[in-house]
Amino acid sequence: MSGVTTPGTLEAIQAFVVDGCRRAGADDATGFDLRLAVDEACTNVAMHGYAGAGPGPIGVVLESDGTWIRVTITDRGVSFRPERVEPPDLAAEAERRPLGGLGWHLIRQMTDEIEYHSDSDSGNRLVLGRRIKP
């Protein structure tokens, strides 16, 4: 599906992923996990990728071969380096925990494969993969 990064689109993307996971034969927990990973990534596109610029285009494609589910997210916002996002300090006391900074941590927890590519011609492309069968 595709749209611009408004709250309504982010909600529709969640429903789209849950539905696609069910069709692919994934269990509810897997559907929950991919919904979360994709939601975090798309929310980041809206909040950081298009920061200041207002809502911009976003595309979400879900594919499955019965063993893996792969979700490809494309956008035209600023590019960044996901591998540079530091993991949070989970053991810290509440008082020392920063607000935010958990999105990429959750994306990593919920997926088995992450691929990111960015160039000025085709924009940004993030692929999130999750194995659904051994």
Q: Are 41 and 128 in contact (CB under 8 A)?
A: yes
45 binds ligand ADP (CB under 6 A): yes
Site for another protein in 17-46 (CB under 8 A): 28-29, 32, 35-36, 39-40, 43, 46
Of 55 and 87, which has the nearer Cβ to another protein? 87
Residues 6+ apart with CB under 8 A from 122: none
- The length of the chain is 134
Counting Cα atoms < 13 Å in the Cβ hemisphere of 43 gives 15
Nearest 5 degrees, angle CA 129-CA 3-CA 44? 55
Q: Are 5 and 58 in contact (CB under 8 A)?
A: yes
Site for ligand ADP in 53-82 (CB under 6 A): 77-78, 80
Of 55 and 117, which has the nearer Cβ to another protein? 55
- What is the distance between the alpha carbons of residues 124 and 29, in angstroms, rounded to a whole number? 28
Site for another protein in 41-60 (CB under 8 A): 43, 46-47
120 binds another protein (CB under 8 A): no
Q: Which residues bind ligand ADP (CB under 6 A)?
A: 40, 44-45, 48-49, 77-78, 80, 85, 100-101, 103-104
Q: Which residues bind another protein (CB under 8 A)?
A: 7, 10-11, 14, 28-29, 32, 35-36, 39-40, 43, 46-47, 87-95, 97, 99-100, 102-103, 105-106, 108-109
